[in-house]
Structure 1
Amino acid sequence: MGDPIDLMIHKSSQESIGVSSSQIRAARALLGWSGKDLAEFCSVGLATIRRYEQENGLKKANPSVLKAIINLFESHGIEFLGDPLVNPGVILHLDRQAK
């Protein structure tokens, strides 16, 4: 198994947010979404989602697409936990799910 990450968005010079490929797969699974569902919700191609979900991650993700994916998941109750490099995690808050 290769390097588990590297999907990072830099919000400022000192702050960044990131998710691992496994976190994207886990979040999608918790919501019961297919790759096609996620692609449609984010207005990107299925090939883009597949690349982002590769086992070794995607080192140069499009920041706007990655942000859209993260925002979509968060609006549906997903919280990304831990450091995506060391201890990536995902939790679904049922009380925060979009209706």
Structure 2
Amino acid sequence: MSQPGSILKVSIRQLKAARALLGWSQDDLAKAAAVSIPTIKRLEASDGSLGGRDETVQKIVNAVACAGIDFLFENGNGPGVRLRKPNRSKT
């Protein structure tokens, strides 16, 4: 994971995979990230790195990360995503 405040270099494919793992539609992502649906659609219509304004990218990355997604980066096996195990708090 990245340091707080830094912007991850996330690919469109990673973002789509993250949405799939979460079972989120583009509308769900837009709501969670507090960005417009047309913005999500426009960004996902391209390929390569997630573009757009830094603030928008940060909102999108934070939304899926807060929902439990870890972004995996090039380490010999290629980039990807994974769904974190839910934290089980002791009560």
Q: TM over 0.5: same fold?
A: yes
Asked if the contact 2:12/2:50 (under 8 Å) is kept, the reply is no
Q: Unmatched 5+ residue regions in structure 2? A: none
Q: Which of 32, 37, 40 is the aligned partner of 2:28?
A: 37
CA-based RMSD: 2.3
TM-score relative to the length of structure 2: 0.75
Q: How does 1:1-99 map to 2 (within 5 A)?
A: 11=6, 17-57=8-48, 60-83=51-74, 87-96=78-87
For structure 1, the 5+ residue unaligned runs are: 1-9
87-96 or 33-42, which deviates more: 87-96
Compared with structure 1, are the counterparts of its residues 32 and 60 closer, same or farther at alpha carbon in structure 2 (3 Å cutoff)? closer
Q: Contact 2:10–2:49 at 8 Å: present in 1 too?
A: no
Quick one: structure 1 residues 73 and 60, their matched pair in 2 at CA, closer, same or farther if it must change by over 3 Å? Answer: closer
More strand by share: 1
**Consecutive aligned runs of 4 or more in structure 1 exceeding 2 Å deviation:** 57-60
Percent sequence identity over aligned pairs: 38
CA–CA distance in structure 1, aligned partners of residues 49 and 84 of structure 2 = 27
How many pairs align?
81
- Summarize the Cα distance change of 1:95–1:41 in structure 2 as closer, same or farther, 3 Å threshold: same
So what's the TM-score if we normalise by structure 1? 0.69
For the 8 Å contact 1:51–1:58, the answer to whether it is kept is no
